[in-house]
């Protein structure tokens, strides 16, 4: 056991984490990164499409903000959206100056291309592997600055004080499990902990997300007392390969790729799903259109439709989308230069997450979140393609700076229980939250003023948890996890209805009860992935429950959340953010206001048509 001490601890080393660490370092802080992978293994590397930034003549950040608010189906908060759109150009240029290999125009300037839901071709890209370049470029800058990285160190819990009101609590650090040695370590952070742990895509069976995407940061923040916001809004990407869930970039459609059903019809137009934008309508619109086609008997094998880009020509495809040729070939056995690619919707992105303000700060003092694990909220009910990468760099940088003690301005977004405007009103079919007998995770941490002692007490508690899991001769977590994934994909997918959502909550409860019986059968302290995955599975259960509860309560159709029997967006009743707080094991559903008031205008909700 070792206690490490730094000013700022960044948990997770994908795009948001790397950017946060660089920013904190530049603000003069002693910053360290703790990550369960090595930084270059992070899932940011799989992002393909690009970075939206109003960079060029004729474009304006106000237009980017308008598109984003509309895309969010008016569930984005205007102060956050405007911050994103204002800061993105500068942040994108910063990446270029750090050497990122953007695709180029004839005049040597960075290229931009059209993306779904955007009024201007403002998606800056590096082939169809933008995330790979962004990740490696920022990791290079971390190496350059000599920032300490604790890699293959799994953060399993936050060290937080346990005042009754989460707004009075302080986060003093976190507990890491060294995967290589099995040692538990305490990390004390005098300035703050920045969670940048990515999304929870692994709660679904068919997902574009890496195996590591288990939403650990969301689950830890939730149990420490931070509400999870708008978790029912899950993006299903319309073009994933049927056999693996591997993503085929929206860039294919941005460059002119066409979707066909099995009748050879260009259904986005033929059946009026999006008469103006066709294939380039917002992702939720295209995903629903595909499933509708398949359900109407106009799909191909494996519930797929076809995405055809052959007409773009080999030269253009090789120049701008070469990576797609490799992906379709290696993972689906289809050469997209010769035949159309089968595609279907797959879980891709969690719009919701840890509630934060524009500085990335949560209601717990010293606890920050940025990137997919956070909900600031810029994506609202639906994220536009090309808006995730700018979120990483814009809000990663802000969280890093603020945690390092810089003044980044007074936030307009209010967080924590004091932002509550009304209570939730829904009858779940089963009990939620902690199973009474043995909750393996304590809530809220310990009551003590010294950071060191808070970290040490949490360390003891986590040691007990590890010992218990190692000693139990129980069931394999993998069985529980796969049942969870199956029910989420069956019942909490693109189309949702009351019965399905209730069934999912019953299944999640069943998973939670069975989880009490799990044990780790690998006895080794060396690289025990059995143990790590067992802990991750608990995190997935917590988040799946929050997500499904929010979805059951929300009786309207907004953005990515489609509800049978409620086919309209209902601004009267539902123009509000969903919040679920762990509440020491007794989940509390409530709502907060959406901020539509921008810097100099109000974004009036309009009908969202493409």
Partner 1 sequence: MSTNVPDTDTETHADTDAQPAPQQRRLAKKRERREHSPQSETSGDTDQETVELKVFRYDPEVEGKREPRFDDFHVPFTKGMTVLDALIYARDTFDSSLTFRHSCRQAICGSDALFINGAQRLGCQTQLSDLEWPVRIEPLPHQEVVKDLVVDMEHFYEQMDAVDPFFKDEDVPDGLEEQRQDRENREKIKMSTRCIWCGACMSSCNIAAGGNYLGPAAINKAYRFVMDEREDGDVTQERLETIEAEEGVWRCQTQFSCTEVCPKDIPLTEHIQELKREAVKNNLKFW
Pairwise CA distance, residues 465 & 531, whole Å = 11
What's the min distance (Å) between Cβ of 10 and partner 1? 18
What's the min distance (Å) between Cβ of 410 and partner 1? 26
What's the min distance (Å) between Cβ of 46 and partner 1? 5
Only segment of 71-79, 107-115, 229-237, 280-288 that touches partner 1 (CB under 8 A): 107-115
Angle at 502 between CA 499 and CA 508, to 5 degrees: 140
Only segment of 113-121, 290-298, 326-334, 435-443 that touches partner 1 (CB under 8 A): 326-334
Q: Which one, of 205, 259, 211, lies nearest residue 236 by Cα?
A: 205
What's the min distance (Å) between Cβ of 136 and partner 1? 7
70/398 with CB nearer partner 1:
398
What's the min distance (Å) between Cβ of 424 and partner 1? 36
Contact status: 333 vs partner 1 (CB under 8 A): yes
End-to-end CA distance of the chain: 56
Contact status: 316 vs partner 1 (CB under 8 A): no
Contact status: 107 vs partner 1 (CB under 8 A): yes
Is the CB of residue 12 less than 8 Å from the CB of residue 195? yes
- Asked about 283 being catalytic, the answer comes back as yes
Reported in sequence order, the residue ranges of 199-316 that DSSP labels E, i.e. its strands, are 228-229, 234-240, 258-260, 305-308
What's the min distance (Å) between Cβ of 400 and partner 1? 17
What's the min distance (Å) between Cβ of 127 and partner 1? 8
Q: Which one, of 293, 208, 250, 272, lies nearest residue 117 by Cα?
A: 250
- Within a 10 A sphere around the Cβ of 360, how many other Cβ atoms? 32
Only segment of 90-98, 303-311, 385-393, 582-590 that touches partner 1 (CB under 8 A): 90-98
Category of 113 on φ-ψ map: left (φ > 0), alpha (ψ -120 to 50) or beta? beta
- Name the token pair of 117: 């839901």
Contact status: 109 vs partner 1 (CB under 8 A): yes
Only segment of 74-82, 353-361, 422-430, 524-532 that touches partner 1 (CB under 8 A): 524-532
What's the min distance (Å) between Cβ of 395 and partner 1? 19
Only segment of 76-84, 108-116, 254-262, 558-566 that touches partner 1 (CB under 8 A): 108-116
Contact status: 327 vs partner 1 (CB under 8 A): yes
Return the residues of window 531-590 that contact partner 1 according to CB under 8 A.
Answer: none
Pairwise CA distance, residues 18 & 539, whole Å = 23
Which of 106, 436, 473, 604 is the binder for partner 1 (CB under 8 A)? 106
Return the residues of window 44-63 that contact partner 1 according to CB under 8 A.
Answer: 45-46, 55
Contact status: 468 vs partner 1 (CB under 8 A): no
Which of 180, 311, 601, 602 is the binder for partner 1 (CB under 8 A)? 180
Contact status: 502 vs partner 1 (CB under 8 A): no
318/439 with CB nearer partner 1:
318
Q: 92-118 in b/e burial notation, b at 16+ Cβ within 10 A? A: bebbeeeebebbeeeeeebbbbbbbbb
DSSP one-letter code for 119: S
Reported in sequence order, the residue ranges of 425-575 that DSSP labels E, i.e. its strands, are none
Contact status: 522 vs partner 1 (CB under 8 A): yes
Which of 6, 19, 43, 320 is the binder for partner 1 (CB under 8 A)? 43
**Please, is 190 exposed, middle or buried when counting C-beta atoms within 10 Å of its C-beta (0-12, 13-18, 19+)?**
middle
372/456 with CB nearer partner 1:
372
Only segment of 239-247, 437-445, 498-506, 599-607 that touches partner 1 (CB under 8 A): 239-247
Contact status: 527 vs partner 1 (CB under 8 A): yes
Angle at 119 between CA 113 and CA 123, to 5 degrees: 25
236/562 with CB nearer partner 1:
236
Beta bridge partners of 300: 304
Which of 94, 497, 583, 584 is the binder for partner 1 (CB under 8 A)? 94
Pairwise CA distance, residues 309 & 259, whole Å = 9
Contact status: 262 vs partner 1 (CB under 8 A): no
CA distances from 574 to 137, 217, 235, 270, 565 (A): 41, 27, 19, 32, 15
Which of 7, 67, 77, 129 is the binder for partner 1 (CB under 8 A)? 129
Residue 589, SS3 per DSSP: strand
Which of 27, 52, 83, 103 is the binder for partner 1 (CB under 8 A)? 103
- Give, for 185, the enclosing helix (H) or strand (E): strand 184-195
Category of 379 on φ-ψ map: left (φ > 0), alpha (ψ -120 to 50) or beta? alpha
Query: DSSP string spanning 335-391?
Result: -TTTSPEEEEEEEEEES-EEE--TTSB-SSBTEEE-GGGEE-SSSTTSPPTT-HHHH
482/555 with CB nearer partner 1:
482
Catalytically annotated residue among 19, 113, 169, 283: 283
Return the residues of window 427-466 that contact partner 1 according to CB under 8 A.
Answer: none
Contact status: 148 vs partner 1 (CB under 8 A): no
Is the CB of residue 128 less than 8 Å from the CB of residue 251? yes
Which of 133, 298, 561, 577 is the binder for partner 1 (CB under 8 A)? 133
Return the residues of window 334-353 that contact partner 1 according to CB under 8 A.
Answer: 335
DSSP one-letter code for 180: T
Only segment of 65-73, 322-330, 360-368, 405-413 that touches partner 1 (CB under 8 A): 322-330
Pairwise CA distance, residues 290 & 498, whole Å = 22
What's the min distance (Å) between Cβ of 53 and partner 1? 9
Which of 17, 76, 89, 428 is the binder for partner 1 (CB under 8 A)? 89
Number of residues located near partner 1, criterion CB under 8 A: 72
Pairwise CA distance, residues 205 & 486, whole Å = 6
- Known catalytic residues are 283
């Amino acid at each position: 056991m070792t206690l490490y001490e730094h000013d700022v601890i960044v948990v997770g080393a994908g795009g948001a984490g790397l950017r946060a660490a660089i920013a904190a370092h530049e603000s003069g802080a002693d910053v360290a990164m703790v990550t369960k992978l090595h930084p270059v293994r992070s899932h940011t590397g799989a992002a393909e499409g690009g970075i939206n930034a109003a960079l060029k003549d004729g474009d304006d950040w106000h237009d980017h903000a308008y598109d984003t608010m509309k895309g969010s189906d008016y569930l984005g908060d205007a102060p956050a959206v405007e911050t994103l759109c204002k800061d993105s150009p500068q942040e994108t240029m910063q990446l270029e100056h750090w050497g990122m290999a953007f695709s180029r125009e004839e005049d040597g300037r960075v290229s931009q291309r059209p993306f779904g839901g955007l009024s201007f071709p403002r998606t800056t890209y590096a082939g169809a592997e933008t995330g790979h370049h962004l990740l490696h470029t920022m990791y290079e800058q971390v190496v350059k600055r000599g920032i300490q990285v604790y890699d293959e160190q799994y953060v399993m819990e936050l060290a937080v004080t346990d005042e009754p009101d989460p707004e009075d609590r302080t986060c003093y650090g976190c507990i890491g499990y060294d995967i290589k040695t099995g040692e538990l370590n305490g990390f004390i952070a005098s300035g703050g902990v920045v969670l940048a742990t990515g999304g929870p895509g692994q709660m679904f069976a068919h997902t574009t997300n890496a195996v590591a995407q288990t939403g650990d940061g969301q689950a830890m923040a939730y149990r420490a007392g931070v509400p999870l916001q708008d978790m029912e809004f899950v993006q299903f990407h319309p073009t994933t390969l049927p056999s693996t869930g591997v993503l085929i970039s929206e860039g294919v459609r941005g460059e002119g790729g066409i979707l066909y059903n099995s009748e050879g019809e260009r259904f986005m137009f033929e059946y009026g799903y999006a008469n103006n934008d066709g294939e380039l309508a917002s992702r939720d619109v295209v995903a629903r259109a595909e499933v509708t086609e398949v359900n109407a008997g106009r799909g191909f094998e494996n519930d797929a439709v076809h995405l055809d880009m052959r007409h773009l020509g080999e030269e253009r495809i090789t120049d701008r989308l070469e990576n797609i040729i490799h992906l379709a070939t290696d993972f689906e056995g289809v050469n997209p230069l010769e035949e159309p690619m089968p595609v279907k919707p797959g879980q891709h992105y969690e719009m919701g997450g840890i509630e934060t303000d524009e500085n990335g700060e949560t209601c717990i003092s010293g606890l920050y979140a940025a990137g997919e694990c956070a909900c600031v909220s810029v994506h609202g009910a639906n994220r536009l393609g090309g808006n995730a990468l700018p979120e990483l760099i814009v809000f990663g940088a802000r969280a890093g700076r603020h945690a390092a003690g810089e003044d980044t301005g007074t936030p307009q977004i209010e967080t924590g229980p004091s932002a509550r405007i009304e209570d939730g009103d829904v009858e779940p079919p089963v009990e939620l939250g902690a199973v009474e007998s043995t909750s393996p995770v304590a809530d809220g941490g310990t009551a003590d003023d010294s950071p060191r002692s808070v970290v040490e007490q949490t360390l003891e508690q986590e040691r007990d948890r590890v010992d218990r899991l190692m000693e139990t001769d129980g069931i394999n977590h993998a069985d529980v996890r796969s049942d969870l994934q199956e029910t989420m994909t069956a019942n909490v997918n693109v189309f949702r209805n009351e019965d399905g959502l209730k069934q999912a909550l019953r299944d999640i409860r069943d998973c939670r009860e069975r989880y009490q019986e799990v044990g780790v059968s690998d006895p080794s302290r060396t690289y025990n992935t059995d143990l790590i995955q067992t802990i991750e599975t608990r995190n997935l259960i917590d988040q799946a429950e929050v997500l499904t509860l929010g979805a059951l309560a929300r009786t309207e159709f907004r953005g990515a959340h489609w509800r049978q029997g409620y086919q309209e967006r209902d601004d009267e009743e539902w123009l509000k953010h969903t919040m679920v707080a762990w509440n020491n094991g007794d989940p509390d559903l409530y709502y907060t206001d959406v901020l539509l008031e921008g810097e100099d205008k109000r974004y009036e909700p309009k009908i969202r048509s493409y």
